[in-house]
């Protein structure tokens, strides 16, 4: 199902939006990924991924309330769409199938050099 293909970073971002649920905005998404995965995320890469997934209809964004701390600019919040949920389910099912297909002998064999 090519329609539901996600890149690794897209999958991570979608999962993180799901984790944050109703409070998923760019800085929060960035901080959550960095704290959970010990992985540095650039705002440019994150905004590009968010835009790309909005274009694919995996995410929808909306403006929150304007605040004084943001000089009257509202935060942009993100939520997963029905299509985004299908894409995540497809990614999970695909990974589970691949993991299940690995022969047990792979895990029982002594790893070389380790």
The alpha carbon of 63 is separated from its chain's Cα centroid by a whole number of angstroms, namely 20
What mean pLDDT is predicted for residues 7-22? 96
Asked whether the predicted pLDDT for residue 1 surpasses 60, the reply is no
Cα–Cα distance measured from residue 84 to residue 19, given in angstroms and rounded to the nearest whole number: 14
Task: Name all domains of the chain by residue range, CATH numbers in brackets.
Answer: 2-108 (1.10.10.10)
Asked whether the predicted pLDDT for residue 20 surpasses 70, the reply is yes
What mean pLDDT is predicted for residues 15-34? 96
Cα–Cα distance measured from residue 67 to residue 70, given in angstroms and rounded to the nearest whole number: 5
DSSP string, 56-105: TTSEEEEEEEE-TTTTTPEEEEEEE-HHHHHHHHHHHHHHHHHHHHS-HH
pLDDT in tens, 54-102: 999 999 999 987 776 666 778 899 999 999 999 999 999 999 999 999 9
């Amino acid at each position: 199902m090519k329609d539901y293909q996600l890149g690794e970073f897209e999958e991570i971002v979608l999962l993180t939006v799901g984790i944050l649920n109703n409070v998923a905005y760019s800085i929060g998404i960035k901080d959550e990924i960095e704290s959970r995965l010990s992985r540095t995320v650039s705002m440019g890469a994150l905004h590009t991924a968010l835009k790309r997934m909005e274009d694919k209809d995996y995410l929808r964004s909306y403006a929150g309330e304007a605040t004084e701390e943001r000089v009257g600019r509202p935060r942009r919040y993100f939520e997963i769409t029905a299509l985004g949920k299908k894409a995540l389910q497809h990614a999970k099912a695909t990974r589970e199938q691949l993991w299940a297909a690995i022969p047990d002998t792979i895990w029982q064999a002594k790893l070389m050099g380790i």
